[in-house]
Amino acid sequence: MTAIVFPMSAAQCEDQMHRNGLNPYMACWRPVLMLVAFLSLPAYAGDAGSPEGSRYEACMESSRGVTADMLNCTLSATDDVEAEIELALKELDLAEEQGTALGEAQSDWKRFRKSTCEFEAGLAGDGSFTSVALADCWLRLTQDRLQWIRSQSAREQ
| Residue ranges covered by each domain of the chain | 10-156
Look at phi and psi of residue 134 and say left if phi exceeds 0, alpha if psi is from -120 to 50, else beta: alpha
Q: What is the pLDDT of residues 84-125, one digit of tens each?
A: 999 999 988 888 999 999 999 999 999 999 999 999 999 988
Q: What is the pTM of this model?
A: 0.66
Question: So what's the pLDDT on residue 54?
Answer: 78
10 vs 114, higher pLDDT: 114
CA dihedral 20, 21, 22, 27 (to 10 degrees): 40
The Cα–Cα gap between 121 and 74 comes to: 14
Run of H or E residues at 155? helix 129-156
Q: Is the pLDDT of residue 127 over 50?
A: yes
The mean pLDDT of 13-38, rounded to a whole number, is: 49
Question: So what's the pLDDT on residue 19?
Answer: 57
Q: Is the pLDDT of residue 64 over 50?
A: yes
Closest CA to 134 of 48, 20, 41, 14: 41
CA 5 to chain CA centroid, nearest Å: 23
